[in-house]
Every structure is written in structure tokens, then in C-alpha cells.
Amino acid sequence: MSHATHANAALTPRARLRLARLIVDHGWPPARAAERYDVSWRTAKKWADRYREEGPDGMLDRSSAPRRQPNRTPAPVVRKIVHLRWKQRLGPVEIADRLGMASSTVHAVLVRCRINRLTHIDRATGEPIRRYEHQRPGDLIHVDVKKLGKVPDGGGWRYLGRQEGKKNRATTAARTGDRNKYGQPLVGTCYLHTVIDDHSRVAYVEARDNETKETATDVLQNAVTWFAERGVIVQRVLSDNGACYRSNLWKQTCADLGITPKRTRPYRPQTNGKIERFHRTLADGWAFKRFYSSESARLAALPAWVHEYNHHRPHSAIGKAAPITRLDNLAGHHT
């Protein structure tokens, strides 16, 4: 049993246990035991009651935090704060200004989520500076979904400007019939289901039309098969707390594949930093790298980019080697 106690405690856990045993096990009156240990009889009775209910473990200090905290920042607001800090590395004052709240509240949330110091984050990449890495390919894979707006027919605003891009959106929406509840034209969303091997950084990507549990599990099965063909047996899978990854279907699929599912702690995007960084590389190197005249044209370029990333692109986190070189060197893997 730990003997650590708070600074103003009259008794150590060991002394509390002796006091409680005098009353419970030896039948001493609480007042007499209290006098011996120079505490009030209420204190003596409290430790005796805890000893009856919890045994020796009840002698340890309990948290002084209130069970309910009605003024605590709501979870949706915490998510927004973490997102602005992680994605844009904004400070408490800037975040508070954007969200219309006190900067002291924002700072308290950042401290609680352990992202209050930017010195712990690589400013260029957003990755934690202190990296970890599993020893063998397949020990852990990271999964996530990257959402991108589809490219309208004729191209998007990034290369054509707002006016032309808006016109192309309207033309595409007229063809597809997609509009939001306000009647504004929509071109839809592309859901990129991405899988990264923790050790090698080898990536597997599928473009889908949704992020349902059925789609997520189908991608996982395809990815496991893809890695197995390259001599990698997946042991664990790490995801965020998205609905598709919390589903029973996901758990059952992992069990069927012999994989242990793990999830990141809420509001701690650092834990999945490798895949967050891959998404930035994916966006810069493929999604927005050049002009695409349509969504199908962009998707057609995806397999070649992923192959380039895996087989030829030097990766700074693994000694500027291509990710595929960290897999077992079986025939045909490095071409």
C-alpha cells in the first residue's frame, strides 16, 4: 500500500489503518482511539467506517475533485479548441477570440489535454517531437478517414478562382441534383480511408463515398489482405473514437481477423500523429498538388501517388528511406 498522503493530513495511511483496526478489530471506543492518535473522534470514526467498507485500501486519500462539474467546458467546445490548437497551432487568445470565450478557459482546456506547450509539438509538421515506434511491421496499424470536398466538373476554385469554381459547382450540382437544405449546390465529399503501418510507414488508401461501419470494416479487411500479401501480419489496429470504430461490427471484424482494436484517448490527436501527418502529405502531394478537371481525374491519380509514397519517396522519420524498404525484403516488394 502506498504511504503518500496530502500535505496537511494528520495521519499517514499506515497510522489510519492502525487507528481503524483498534476500533473495528479490537473494539476500542472511537473517542479513546482518537485520543491516542491525537485526532477528533469524528476523524477516528470516519477511518473506522472506511475500513469496514473498503478494508486497507480505504485508508488512501481520495480525490478532492467534485463528482459533478456543471461549469466544466462542454465536450463539443473542447473538441473545437483541440482542433484549432492541433491543426493551426493557435494560442489561447486567438482560439478564445474565434470561439467567443475567455482565454483563461481555453488555457485550462489546453493544460487538461496536455497540449498547452507548443514546444512539445513540431511546428512544421504538427507531430509530437518525442516519437515512438513499434518494432516490427504489423505490430500496429493506424486507421483514419480523411474527408475532402470533391472536385467539380471543370475544376475547383483553388486553380480557377472563386467565381469560376462557383460556376462549376453549380453545373455539377445540376447534373447530380445534390443540394444542401438551403438549396445551395453541393459536389459531395470523398472519404479517404487510410491505413498506416506504424513501423514502416507503408500506407494503404481507399476512396469511398461514406464512413459507415460497414465501409470501415470492409476497408480494414482489404488492408489486412493487402499487407498479408507483402508478408505483414497485422496484430493491432489504432483508431480514433469515430462512430464506425466504436461499433460492434468493428469489434467483431477485428476479432475475426485476430486483431486487437485500440482507440486513442479523447481529445489527444497526438496519439495518432503519424496518420495525421500522412494526411497533410496526401493533401499537399496529391489532392491539391495540381489542377484536376474532375473528381474522377483526381481519383485516377491516387494509386500512382500512393505507390510513389511507399516505394520511392524518402521518409524523414525513417532515415530518408522509402517506407517499403522497412518491410521484409521479399521478391517484388521494392519495385
Is there a domain that residue 281 lies in? yes
For the chain, how many structural domains are there in total?
Answer: 3
Q: How far is CA 165 from CA 30, 149, 158, 286, 298, in A?
A: 81, 13, 8, 19, 16
Closest CA to 269 of 94, 84, 119, 73: 84
The model carries a pTM of 0.60
What CATH number did the domain enclosing 267 receive?
A: 3.30.420.10
Better-predicted residue by pLDDT, 115 or 210: 210
Closest CA to 149 of 124, 125, 180, 127: 180
The average pLDDT across 52-62 equals: 87
Q: Are residues 79 and 53 in the same domain?
A: no
pLDDT recorded at residue 250: 96
Q: Are residues 238 and 204 in the same domain?
A: yes
Q: Are residues 113 and 241 in the same domain?
A: no
| Residue 284 pLDDT exceeds 70 | yes
Q: Are residues 116 and 221 in the same domain?
A: no
Q: Are residues 110 and 251 in the same domain?
A: no
84-115 pLDDT, tens digit each:
887 777 888 889 988 999 989 999 998 888 78
Q: How far is CA 45 from CA 5, 13, 51, 191, in A?
A: 19, 15, 10, 61
8 A C-beta contact, residue 116 and residue 213: no
Q: Are residues 37 and 104 in the same domain?
A: no
The average pLDDT across 235-259 equals: 94
Domain encompassing residue 48: 13-59
290-330 pLDDT, tens digit each:
899 888 899 999 999 999 999 988 887 777 788 888 886 44
pLDDT recorded at residue 224: 96
Q: Are residues 214 and 79 in the same domain?
A: no
Is there a domain that residue 255 lies in? yes
Confidence band of 189 (pLDDT split at 50, 70, 90)? confident
Q: Are residues 259 and 114 in the same domain?
A: no
| Residue 2 pLDDT exceeds 60 | no
Q: Are residues 146 and 242 in the same domain?
A: yes
Three state DSSP letters for 71-94: CCCCHHHHHHHHHHHHHHCCCHHH
Is there a domain that residue 97 lies in? yes
Rounded Cα distance between 30 and 16, Å, is: 12
